Every structure is written in structure tokens, then in C-alpha cells.
Amino acid sequence: MRRIKTNYKAEQLINTLSAIKGNIKAIKQKPNALLITIDTPTPELAHRGIEITQTLNGLTCRIYAARLSGCCIVWEA
């Protein structure tokens, strides 16, 4: 995986997600925050997550997002 500049809290969050069970699919640096895409959320993230209905090329899917340690964490339903 390509190395991205992150702050200390973001690095701790990435390490914690990797250690628990959250398989990290992608990490992207956006202008406002670090965007982390994961397979399955931890119980804390599942509780804090909000549901977003996304329509792309006529296909509708649900994704969930939570903000933690200044990072946006996203997963699919």
C-alpha cells in the first residue's frame, strides 16, 4: 500500500483498525480529511455510523460513514 502523509492520531486509528478486525480496503487523502474504506466496522463504528443512500449510474446502494480521530471511515452495507 502506498504511504500517505498522516498525523499521529490517524496513524493510531489505522493501526487499531488493522489490529482488531477491520480489513482496510483503501486510504485516500482528501482536502478536508483522510478517507478510510473498510470491509466490516468495529462495534463502536457501527454505533456511530450514519446511513447514506448513494445512487450511481442508476444503481442504489447503502453505505455507512463515521468520523473518528479526524478521519472519515466508510463501509458498505
Q: What is the pTM of this model?
A: 0.77
Give the pLDDT confidence score for residue 65 in this predicted structure: 95
Residue 19: per-residue pLDDT: 80
Nearest to 45 by CA among 28, 69, 61, 15: 69
Q: What is the mean pLDDT of the chain?
A: 84
Q: Is the pLDDT of residue 20 over 80?
A: no
* Domains of the chain by residue range: 8-76
Residue-level pLDDT at 2: 56
Start-end of H helices in the chain = 8-20, 43-48
pLDDT at position 3 is 58
pLDDT at 13 over 70: yes
